[in-house]
Structure 1
């Protein structure tokens, strides 16, 4: 055989062997895929052809103690764009469609594009690009589908604020905003199926605290799609489960009264001349707290400035957000009741009295109430009251005599802490303050609460350690911006850790470094009112399922019994009755604002305060209580406590007990006209009817539903 032919035949045999091997390999692979693992691959192929579209649940209601809705839900027209359909259009058609949608929804094209590009939900779920649009806009899109391919207009559920009696309650309720990618990643890690990429979550107030109850459980619709992602039809659906209802201890009528009276006090102060600064009061912020003395439950809590929770519905614009954070707005997102920290002024004195009596000073102890007191190289003046000579604790509380309490502070400083550098010296006054809960958050069921501070020798030592470098550098380089700051930096750098006699004097009148929140002060006064039990304040009262089943009752929580004697508490409670009335030779500081009030039936106790703030006008405080309630009010840069806050506090008490008649005459009590039926908050929960309506508690239903 020719060698050339032999070579060609060999090559043909090799080629045939290769072809046979390839077919053999393909055959084996086909058997492997179709027979050995056919069922597995068929399941994977089926799953790839089905995509899930999330159905958001209806968020739970938030109601007051009578069942009145504070936060509910409403339907809103939402315009969305199907990204799959959009992607099948030409670039020119995409541009035309986006421009048309932007125009009809009142947006910029760039804003629509940004929304589409940042969407982190399902690729098979239309992307919401405009919420709360007018119905005529939605109808235009629905009636002209040829002009809006892939654009969907439908109704979705959003938050609503019914505002019973005109309440705002933003600082209590909070608001919602879309879940962040970090939060969603954490939810997936925690296997929390109640959250998804398109969820909205609570950001403040009880919306945040009780978010896991309110949010419900999302549903889903399984959508069958082809290999190109085109929708073929619905495969199956799992219904969303609505969120639970939060019943609060807030009473809408009392809340409305607190908000309105606080606002009126601020408005009046701004129109009132300040003889000290020779201009009208600035009255830039304020707060009021109404607390149930026997449980620590919050009945009302108002704050100014505030904001409209509706602004957050459907997403807040940058313009709106900038307005909320502007200097002119004075940070309305900050709840002054729980996050505002202020020098308590003379409202601090009752707690100093309990500490002093518990530590050994007799109830009939006398000190001189003079115009001022020289301590070291500084003259400490008697800020509010006149000179009354030798007086007792009770009289000093009634007239708010500073010089009396200066001497109380000096007594214990000389007895236990005459070494100003000794941060651990015994201090019964600071101990009493801390026992009443000052210096730490109260633990209320609202996030972001401030801690305040007890400005005693221990705090001063720790603050010196933390800030020594900052102030010593300022002193060395001379970078202080004001003469006061220059002097402060110099003295702080030298002996900023010293707790001197002047510090002890200032401490007893609620000045110096001590700061409290209105909520902390309300809780402390409730401990006086109930005989010494300190509660953790609460707003949530119960969690109720959509079918009316009570899932959880939120009971009052006792923190401790305050570490002062019963004798001291009883003495202060008796003494503070005198603040409300005239006496022989002097008047209680609130007497001129409570003339004609039925004190014989409503046994009010009270204390005023006017706290001095460097470079600003005085902070006005009034603290009042009886056996049932505590009412606290503060207005910054508003002058004296009784002058500015007294009238507003009185009006709240009138609302609580149904007090009738002109303030210039003798008023009477008509409990049938009280804001809360039966005068005290209901122990029972609202009634959840089978038809979904919520009624007042059964015993208080008659004539109360409005």
Structure 2
């Protein structure tokens, strides 16, 4: 009898012990097999740190190979935005081992950052500086409320040689119809939409749309405006008079003037010339594409060229009023064999302010060219 009871107790104990062992083994299996990857990752995370290594941005160079310092062209809202993919580079990474307190114990590995590419431009820094100085003189005479812009294009290629703007102290766009948060420096040449006055006479003998008015030029800068050409205009304020509802940007007017002397090609202007890797190899070259041809007769084009060249050769610019408080000026440099077209617009600076700035450009550019030996 006792022997049977003893055997029963032993069997019960064996069952209990076996159950406990199975429970422990089951838990171990769960921790090792099912939850193992989770705990492995948690352990790794507790002793590894990944540190990003920012990539140096590529440089933006002027035509002379020096860094371009015109902030309005380079910074936010400028070339850095348009060519971000080329300039940004690729960030690197560094893996560090740390202890339980977060102290770095050693570097486990590193992939260095890849610098961004270099962007070369057609901006002549001396002509750019001359444009900025011309606007500064106008602003100094007219006061802080004045606004203005200067555009210089190479007539045969559509390349941008200089692009400058003065935003004044506008708070809600004001005289030039601009959002001054966007009007940082040269952007005034892209988004200032004003009635162009008699500077619009270039299209008096042809359709304004044929000269690119009413649509973006496609320049490699953001925030460009389209301008505006109405479907119909009042007879007393027709587009040939340059008044009424017709609105153009300085850049649109410059491309139209360039087309008048280059055979009728409307270029989509470009500031950039090439994207270059850090090792000096060229990723790609950038040329202003032809955006269209001016559908005007040869006689019309010759008449326009003769009129504008005659104005420039007399030592003046086409100086006009583009509406209340706004003036435009346009000229070729040099007048006899136009290499550049210069367009100036000024608002709240007096009726002849643009002519003053244009005269500075017309007289100053040849001196700079002589200094360069070109």
1:639 corresponds to 2:350: yes
Superposed counterparts of 1:274-313, under 5 Å: 284-305=146-167
CA 16–174 in structure 1, closer or farther in 2 if over 3 Å, else same: same
Q: Could you tell me which residue of structure 1 aligns to residue 283 of structure 2?
A: 551
Q: Distance in 1 between matches of 2:353 and 2:30?
A: 87
Q: Distance in 1 between matches of 2:12 and 2:363?
A: 108
1:620 corresponds to 2:353: no
1:609 corresponds to 2:307: no
Q: Could you tell me which residue of structure 2 aligns to residue 446 of structure 1?
A: 221
- Please give the per-residue CA displacement for 1:469-528, whole angstroms capped at 9, x wherever unaligned: xxxxxxxxxxxxxxxxxxxxxxxxxxxxxx5433xx433212111111111111111111
97, 110, 120: which one pairs with 1:237? Answer: 110
Superposed counterparts of 1:9-88, under 5 Å: 17=15, 19-30=17-28, 34=32, 42=40, 45-46=43-44, 49-70=47-68
87, 91, 94: which one pairs with 1:218? Answer: 91
- The answer to whether the 8 A contact 1:219-1:239 is kept is yes
Q: Could you tell me which residue of structure 2 aligns to residue 152 of structure 1?
A: none
Matched pairs, number = 360
CA 629–22 in structure 1, closer or farther in 2 if over 3 Å, else same: farther
Q: Distance in 2 between matches of 1:506 and 1:324?
A: 30
CA shift for structure 1 position 578: 3.1
CA 345–446 in structure 1, closer or farther in 2 if over 3 Å, else same: same
CA 332–32 in structure 1, closer or farther in 2 if over 3 Å, else same: closer
Q: Distance in 2 between matches of 1:230 and 1:15?
A: 51
- The answer to whether the 8 A contact 1:220-1:240 is kept is yes
CA 36–260 in structure 1, closer or farther in 2 if over 3 Å, else same: closer
Q: Could you tell me which residue of structure 2 aligns to residue 539 of structure 1?
A: 271
Superposed counterparts of 1:121-270, under 5 Å: 163=69, 169-175=70-76, 204-227=77-100, 229-270=102-143
CA 35–285 in structure 1, closer or farther in 2 if over 3 Å, else same: closer
- The answer to whether the 8 A contact 1:171-1:333 is kept is no
Unaligned runs of 5+ in 2: none
Q: Distance in 1 between matches of 2:57 and 2:234?
A: 56
- The answer to whether the 8 A contact 2:95-2:110 is kept is yes
If the length of structure 2 is used for normalisation, what is the TM-score?
0.85
- The answer to whether the 8 A contact 2:214-2:227 is kept is yes
Helix, strand or coil for the counterpart of 1:567?
helix
- The answer to whether the 8 A contact 2:311-2:331 is kept is no
Q: Could you tell me which residue of structure 2 aligns to residue 331 of structure 1?
A: 180
Helix, strand or coil for the counterpart of 1:207?
helix
Q: Distance in 1 between matches of 2:16 and 2:255?
A: 90
CA 69–537 in structure 1, closer or farther in 2 if over 3 Å, else same: same
CA RMSD of aligned residues (A): 3.2
Q: Distance in 1 between matches of 2:115 and 2:366?
A: 38
1:514 corresponds to 2:246: yes
CA shift for structure 1 position 444: 0.7
Unaligned runs of 5+ in 1: 71-162, 164-168, 176-203, 271-281, 307-322, 356-431, 458-498, 582-590, 596-605, 660-670, 679-706
- The answer to whether the 8 A contact 1:305-1:332 is kept is no
Q: Distance in 2 between matches of 1:562 and 1:287?
A: 25
Helix, strand or coil for the counterpart of 1:551?
strand
Q: Distance in 1 between matches of 2:181 and 2:129?
A: 18
Helix, strand or coil for the counterpart of 1:338?
helix
CA shift for structure 1 position 647: 2.8
- The answer to whether the 8 A contact 1:324-1:332 is kept is no
CA shift for structure 1 position 265: 2.2
CA shift for structure 1 position 325: 6.1
Q: Could you tell me which residue of structure 1 aligns to residue 231 of structure 2?
A: 456
1:651 corresponds to 2:349: no
Helix, strand or coil for the counterpart of 1:258?
helix
CA 56–510 in structure 1, closer or farther in 2 if over 3 Å, else same: same
Superposed counterparts of 1:579-618, under 5 Å: 579-580=311-312, 591=314, 594=315, 606-613=317-324, 618=325
If the length of structure 1 is used for normalisation, what is the TM-score?
0.47
CA 35–621 in structure 1, closer or farther in 2 if over 3 Å, else same: closer
Helix, strand or coil for the counterpart of 1:543?
strand
